[in-house]
Structure 1
Amino acid sequence: MLIEDRLKELKELINRKVPAGITVSDVEFEGPELVIYTDDPKQFADQADLIRVLARDLRKRIVVRPTVLEDPERAYDDIKEIVPENAGITDIFFDPDTGEVLIEAEKPGVVIGKNGATLRDITKSIGWTPKVVRTPPIESSTVKQIRTYLRAIRDERKEFLRASGRRIHRDILAKDQWVRVTTLGCCREVGRAAFLLSTPESRILIDCGEKPGATNGATPYLGVPEIHPLTNLDAVVLTHAHLDHCALIPLLFRYGFTGPIYATPPTRDLSSMLQLDYLEVIRKEDRPAPYTSNEVKQYVKHSITLNYGSVTDIAPDIKLTFHNAGHILGSAIAHFHVGDGLYNIAFTGDFNYGKSRLFNPANAHFPRLEAIFMESTYGASQDATPSRKEAESRLYDVIKRAIERGGKVIIPAFAVGRSQEVMLALEEGIRKGDLPQIKVYLDGMIKEATAIHTTYPEYLNSDLRNQIFREGLNPFLSECFEQVDSSDKREAVINGEPSVIITTSGMMNGGPVIEYLQNLAADERNTLVFVGYQADGTLGRRIQKGWREIPYGSKGSITINLEVTTVEGFSGHSDRRQLMSYVSHMQPKPEKIFCIHGEESKTLDLASSIYKKFHIQTHSPMNLETYRMV
């Protein structure tokens, strides 16, 4: 059936189901959603269960949009007139993709009004659907730039969504039924995550990252026949925003990809921030860049954001659902439902099955699950990490020793995830007197990443949300933190009083941490503390192994006299005990488990242990292998 005929049929069906007096003027596929255009948005809104019933009967994600939306400039003035001034509106963002207007306010309740009265007045006045959020405690320039850009390209964006929607909802033509996964990276290694999920009808790429510290084999195998040409890809699904999973997604647009990229809202924002920073680091190191900022813009333009738990069509025979992975802000386990109940497969990305200061543990329950690709970073039998409380106590001891001898503490950390965990631990330690009253300097993208965390409080655990919004105690705004935003400031920190410096990059393969190391490594009073995984081939791993002379640059080297220590327990990855516990608690139990994202010995060890304990078929795949699931 032609797509126009299907839309005509859907329109007729909807018109039969809606009450008399409600006019459906048009229906259109826009991305994964079926958009119903109507001249009567208020009547639709008054029918509380109507959209839910339509979604259930049509088995589509339904969005109702007014036929004509008021011009944003006039609508902005109307909102300001309707909403009382004491609401403290700080931003109004119109999203033409959804017909929603996002109103940021210091007092969201005032914008909502008694029993939602003010929101209804806004809808009646402007037609746009209002959504209210609390003003983030720290403003994010990344979020602001993305919203401004999406507003500027709304016509192009609408065209893209309609083209994507028609591709997603096309007829299934293939007669065969099978599901295959091809490993394009991240197998028996850490980094360059990329997996191709294929059916006779569809092809989905999961992640596309770089391998930190690698000179050869730094990119996924994107040249193999299974994935070429890239124009045939139906979609890319991004599990989270670390560079070993997201760095090379903009590269796909250089080679012909034009489709959608699915991610949670925080993942979209964090990954675009890190991709631009990645380009900047490459430029400073005088290396050839794999893409430009224009491709990062293409990525943002083609992103479709999904929240946890939202079941979404991404191809004619594949539905995607994101679940909390507990690793970093917005990190997701991607669950795919293939065909009409044919097969269910999940990719964990990186995940943490323990509660942290920031997030709840990873989700372990799925409606159905036949196979799972599961990270194994700490999968070896000896990979046991201390509790978070023990880790924090050890970190406090290391810092106090360095400060007492007049030294500085350098903590290389990923801008996203580890930095915020360490910040929260240090803020509490200083506030409660477990640490001296010292300055904690933040260098690199850490402050901006933290601002994005406060933009999406719904992705943080309830304890932290309550502390920020109910108790009025925002640890991220503590006076102990100070941003390093210039070379002069960095020099002052290097030459200044004893302090703690949290700086990027986490594996020391570039970024401001190198300047601190060059200036502070020779002084034995100072300390370098690793709080996260150091991949093979990275500068961080070499120092962690005990190298005392580090070649750096074309001729120079860095002498390591400072104390080097590793504090386990801050990682966003599950350790061996948690990985086994995750399999134990997984419901339903899968038939197959693939152990990936770990060094060869660790993936083999974990796969063997899971098989022996749970009698589940396991694999430790190599790159460039293809597995038929059904």
Structure 2
Amino acid sequence: MMDKIKEIKQKVIESLPKKVKVKDVEFEGPFLVVYVKNPQELANADIVKKLAKDLRKRIIIRADPKSLKPKEEAEKIIRQIVPEDAKITSIFFDEEYCEVIIEAEKPGVVIGKGGSTFRKILKETGWSPRVVRTPPLKSKTIESIRSYLLSVREERKEILKRIGESINRPILHADKWVRVTFLGGAREVGRSCYLLQTPNSKILVECGINVSGNQPPYLYIPEIQPLDSIDAVVITHAHLDHCGLVPVLFKYGYRGPVYLTPPTRDLMVLLQLDFIEVASREGTTIPYESHWIRTALKHCITLDYGVVTDIAPDVRLTFYNAGHILGSAIAHFHIGEGLYNIAFTGDFKFERTRLFDKAETNFPRLEALIMEATYGGSQDFQPSRKEAEENLIRIVNETISKGGKVLIPAFAVGRSQEVMIVLEEAIRTKKIDEVPVYIDGMIYEATAIHTAYPEYLNAHLRDLIFHQGINPFISESFVRVDSPSKRQEVIDSSEPCVIISTSGMLNGGPVMEYFRALAGDEKNTIVFVGYQAEGTLGRRIQKGWKEVPFTVDGRREVVKVNMRVETVDGFSGHSDRRQLMNYVKALSDKPEKIITVHGEESKCIDLASSIYKTYKIETRAPMNLETIRFI
């Protein structure tokens, strides 16, 4: 490894202008960090781009600590350089990485045209600037994550150095093969987990839990043991059936990187903490303690869409928009030097929604695709999003006109924000009378994380936020319910309103209090906008039960359901049958093989069969524990 570093350092010195004084070069995760004594001479971004292209590495330039301006002086210079219009809210210095983190309401202004302001900050202070957005809604999760990562920066630097050495180790085996073992999520929904292997690398894609039965994936089989033999874990999005057991990997010996997008990291931490808190409260065994979530967080490496990154000696990863929830990604793997390309869709939506652009179909090369089949059955057709929105608005108006309350049970991430955007626009454009929309449960915190990442939202929303000054998430129509007394106040009020609350299937959470209080009044309406699993209270009410058993303070009571019960399909973050088939048709590069997963057995088989018949592409619907060799 030392020989390789020396070789790269020599190449760096030869590639850079002679006046640039290189002090050191080292690997840090997937990045090559170049320490220079006079970073001001590298303010030209084109030099760094050329170096990255020549070395085929992602480059970070850092200053030699001795060349840095004192922090107080540097802050003064930064505030003089950055226009007031950027609205800087805080500046803090990370001495370990020689970085200055600038938090601002308008990061683009801090960066400047073509990065001009960034380069000026680097030139005049020596500190490498990193800008983060000031969320319009303060997120405790984001603040805690930033604070924690700063507190463990020295340990994290060692972790990244070790990961960097592993990525850049020599390739030992000349054999050429690629295979995937299905450890969970095959012919079922839940506990998604797949092992991608080459002769030189092992990549674990997803590590989820089947939340309803707390079933883990098959993590004990020989292919995956010991866990420290895995090179990398890749997470496509933050739902627990895809990431819920990542901390378990660290509990049992894994110490490698976890690759995911920045929003996925933040939402993953939020949902994992909530998962173990709820399990503990309900008296069920928790699979890991909170400190294992923090351990996993230390090993997280965030990647934006479209950035090609080495994650193993013979594997490069690129994330593409999946359109499912905030930060959700299709993971595209380029194996070897042009040997094979395989993509895992995770959960995806091939339709533009209120929040996201439709899933990406344009890949440089694609020999194999592993895709979800949640709604892959021949009869799995959903109404259009427009129909769903019109239906919801009609139901809300009819309930309000009677002086009633609308209760919408919803999942905290994705569905809630979609519904919020629809209601905000309907109220703003007078399609719905101006009534308060109460937000209860984890929805507010998840929404706060959405406001921190507008660049991950669709073009229309970005235009509203950046150019029209309208951020639907911070509308005055939304009222946060942050205490039991506020909740009781909403319940007792005689005024009509809309309440969006967790949980989405009425199997716990604050929605239970609202339902118990509002169910008996026929003026009120409950609207289901998401899937209700068999055995849940939501499913029973959806089926038409007029009396449901309830446990209150350890006592059983019966709640009469006189309220109107409605289901509005069409808000799903998954593609329906038509969209799944159209997605395959729209792919820029037709794969040789398509594997269907993440669906009931009949749906995986049905979708695989239809793709083969329609497009003459080889398909499989594997079972758990099967291995498929691709080359």
The TM tier, using the shorter chain, reads over 0.9
Deviation of 1:188 (Å): 1.7
What's the counterpart of residue 204 of structure 1?
A: 203
Q: C-alpha offsets along residues 257-303 of structure 1, whole Å, 9 cap, x if unaligned?
A: 11110000111111111111112211221222111211111121110
Give the match for residue 466 of structure 1: 463
Q: Is the 8 A contact 1:94 1:151 kept in 2?
A: no
| Higher alpha-carbon deviation: 130-139 or 304-313 | 130-139
In structure 1, the partner of 2:610 is 609
Q: Are 2:526 and 1:528 equivalent residues in the alignment?
A: yes
2:213 corresponding residue in structure 1: 214
Q: Is the 8 A contact 1:97 1:157 kept in 2?
A: no
Matched, 1:240 2:223: no
> CA separation of 1:116/1:610 partners in 2, compared to 1, >3 Å: closer, same or farther?
closer
* Residue aligning to 2:580: 579
Match runs of 1:171-182 below 5 Å: 171-182=170-181
CA gap of 1:601–1:99, structure 2 versus 1, over 3 A, is farther
What one-letter code is carried by the residue in structure 2 that aligns with 1:371? A
Q: In the TM superposition, what is the alpha-carbon distance from 1:91 to its structure 2 partner?
A: 2.2
Matched, 1:626 2:623: no
Pair 569,135 (structure 1): closer, same or farther in 2 beyond 3 Å? same
Query: What fraction of aligned residue pairs are identical, expressed as a percent?
Result: 60
1:353-383, Cα deviation, whole Å (9 max, x unpaired): 1011111110011111111111111111211
Distance 1:205 1:315 in 2: 12
Structure 1 segment 437-586 matched on structure 2, within 5 A: 437-496=434-493, 497-550=495-548, 556=556, 559=559, 561=561, 562-586=563-587
Distance in 1 separating the partners of 2:484 and 2:425: 29
State yes or no: 1:229 paired with 2:230: no
Structure 2 Cα separation of the partners of residues 181 and 117 of structure 1: 45
RMSD (Å) for aligned C-alpha atoms: 2.3
Tell me what 1:366 maps to: 363
What is the CA–CA distance in structure 2 between the aligned matches of 1:73 and 1:596, rounded to whole Å?
55
Deviates more, 1:533-542 or 1:416-425: 533-542
Paired AA for residue 519 in structure 2: A
1:138-177 → structure 2 map (5 Å cutoff) = 138-177=137-176
Comparing 289-298 with 110-119, greater Cα deviation is found at: 110-119
Find the aligned partners of 1:223 and 1:537 in 2 and give their Cα distance: 30
Cα pair 1:93 1:147 within 8 Å, conserved:
no
- Partner AA of 2:507 in structure 1: N
Q: Which residue of 2 aligns with 1:346?
A: 343
- The residue identity in structure 2 corresponding to 1:501 is I
- SS of the aligned residue for 1:165 comes to helix
Q: Which residue of 1 aligns with 2:123?
A: 124
**Residues in 1 aligned to 2:23 and 2:281: alpha-carbon distance in whole angstroms:** 54
Which shifted more, 386-395 or 50-59? 50-59
Amino acid at match of 2:22: V
Q: Is the 8 A contact 1:190 1:598 kept in 2?
A: yes
354, 358, 377: which is aligned to 1:357? 354
Change (3 A) 1:543 1:481: same
Could you tell me which amino acid in structure 2 is paired with residue 41 of structure 1? P
Distance 1:605 1:518, change over 3 A: same
CA positional deviation for 1:102: 3.4
CA distance in 2, matches of 1:627, 1:560: 52
Gaps of 5+ in 2: none
Distance 1:104 1:583, change over 3 A: same
Q: How do 1:294-443 residues align onto structure 2 when only pairs under 5 Å count?
A: 294-443=291-440
Q: CA offset at residue 87 of structure 1?
A: 4.6
Of the structure 1 ranges 97-106 and 31-40, higher mean CA displacement relative to structure 2 is found in: 97-106
In the TM superposition, 1:186-197 aligns within 5 A as 186-197=185-196
Structure 1 unaligned spans of 5+:
none
Q: Is the 8 A contact 1:377 1:573 kept in 2?
A: yes
Residue 589 of structure 1 is matched in structure 2 by 590
**1:113 positional shift:** 6.7
- Give the match's secondary structure for 1:49: helix
1:13 aligned residue: 11
The answer to whether the 8 A contact 1:213-1:509 is kept is no
Q: TM-score, normalised by structure 1?
A: 0.94
Q: Contact 1:101–1:130 (CA<8 Å) still a contact in 2?
A: yes
Structure 2 distance, partners of 1:67, 1:590, is 47
CA distance in 2, matches of 1:115, 1:184: 45
Structure 2 partner of 1:282: 279
Deviations 1:32-62 (A, max 9, x none): 011111112111223x432222222221111
Change (3 A) 1:347 1:542: farther
Q: Distance in 1 between matches of 2:74 and 2:141?
A: 25
Spell out, residue by residue over 1:529-550, the C-alpha distance to the aligned partner (whole angstroms, 9 max, x if none): 1212334554434443445555
Q: Which residue of 2 aligns with 1:102?
A: 101
Cα distance in 1 for residues equivalent to 2:593 and 2:250: 33
Number of residue pairs aligned between Structure 1 and Structure 2:
625
Is 1:213–1:537's contact at 8 Å kept on the other side of the alignment? no
C-alpha distance in 2 between matches for 1:623 and 1:548: 40
- 2: CA distance between counterparts of 1:299 and 1:72? 31
Separation in 1, partners of 2:85, 2:611: 58
Structure 2 contact 96–154 (Cα < 8 Å) conserved: no
Q: Which residue matches 1:271?
A: 268
**Greater shift in the superposed pair: 372-381 or 137-146:** 137-146
Deviates more, 1:195-204 or 1:92-101: 92-101
The change in CA–CA distance for 1:114 and 1:14 in structure 2 (over 3 A counts) is closer
CA distance in 2, matches of 1:79, 1:241: 35
Contact 2:393 2:431 in 1 (8 A): yes
How far apart are the structure 1 equivalents of 2:270 and 2:541? 28
- 8 Å CA contact 2:63–2:128 kept in 1: the answer is no
Q: Which moved more, 1:160-169 or 1:89-98?
A: 89-98
State the alpha-carbon separation in 1 of the partners of residues 590 and 600 from structure 2: 25
Structure 2 distance, partners of 1:342, 1:426, is: 49
